[in-house]
Amino acid sequence: MTYKRFGSTALQIGPIGLGTVNFSWLTDEPDSFAILDRAFEAGVNLIDTSDNYNAGQTEALLGRWFAQGGGRRERTVLASKCYSAPMEWGSTDPVKRTGSWVGPNQRGLSAKYIREACEASLKRLNTDHLDIYQMHHVDRTARWEEIWQAMDLLIQQGKVLYVGSSNFAGWHIAQAQEAARARHSLGLVSEQSVYNLTKRTVELEVIPACQAYGIAFLPYSPLGAGLLGGKPGENDKGRRSYLKPSQAVEEFQALCGELGHAPAEVALAWCAGQPGVTAPIIGPRTMAQFESGLAAMQIHLDEETLKKLDAIFPGPGGPAPEAYAW
């Protein structure tokens, strides 16, 4: 496993991160543990989760995995998130799982909720600190002075080592960093955004902002919610996929056939190799999907192939404002 610096920090992570959104939901605990153990064995050390994944049950599952010992927690760079409160514990009601909040102060980025959410995550994860604590979304009602005061306190208490963001615009990143600089704080060390061949908007401003500030960029959904993972159809549980291939996806699949690689592996290799990308976050549901993610890290796409992919899935044309102005 080849490791790289996490942005401008001294932290080292592998070429992919393990996302856990499916664990305790589409992937049961034994299978989740098997994937986690395989990642641990392979040297994939970044595990990404959130307090609102599966009503908090995903964090609790990870806590039970860490409890097995063997260096699992010590060798893991553990990243979680706050913004949306976990839904009712164990609820199978889709309303409660998608929009029933505990109260008006149990979401967002107020100092009150940041503290409460962090304490709750630590308890579920069975750990005394988070390596990276990410804001899951921007909160336009919270001043940066309030956010950084709360985050800096968690850092001083040893409960958080680094702070990251997710789903931020480029100007949000700039605001956050300049506010942190005024407080003589480290500021954001990472940004996590959707990025794949079908969604390249972050090339305009988000990735350039991360590069300018020395922030690690972590793409999530590198397979486009499965659209780039292969020909849609029935999955291995017999359910019909709702994703229908477009002409671009069909052309992509044909190119992958010429290359002799699975579409999922080509899509992930492309994402991992893009300028500014630190490590894509993959969210495997099965062991086979995780192994495919590992295999993708061995694929090198030459310039001719990259040009063909750009022709099939055109990006925005470069960073802003050059992409749309003279």
* CA–CA distance, 137 with 158 (Å, rounded to integer): 23
Radius of gyration of the chain (CA): 20
For 274, left (φ over 0), alpha (ψ -120 to 50), or beta? Answer: beta
* CA–CA distance, 241 with 246 (Å, rounded to integer): 14
Catalytic annotation on 133?
A: no
How many residues belong to the chain? 326
Give CA angle at 229 (32, 293), nearest 5°.
50
* CA–CA distance, 112 with 288 (Å, rounded to integer): 41
Least Cα distance to 18 among 62, 82, 67, 51 occurs for 62
The active-site residue, picked from 53, 83, 162, 195, is 53
Least Cα distance to 51 among 146, 120, 139 occurs for 120
The total of other beta-carbon atoms located within 10 Å of residue 158's CB is 9
Please list, in sequence order, all residues whose beta carbon lies within 8 angstroms of the beta carbon of residue 43, skipping any fewer than 6 positions away.
1, 3, 14
What are the φ/ψ torsions at residue 37 (nearest 5 degrees)? -65, -40
Helix (H) or strand (E) holding 213: helix 206-213
What are the φ/ψ torsions at residue 151 (nearest 5 degrees)? -65, -40
* CA–CA distance, 280 with 202 (Å, rounded to integer): 14
DSSP tally for the chain: helices H, then strands E:
11, 10
Helix (H) or strand (E) holding 77: strand 77-82
Residue 62's alpha-carbon distances to 51, 120, 166, in angstroms, are 11, 14, 21
Catalytic positions are 53
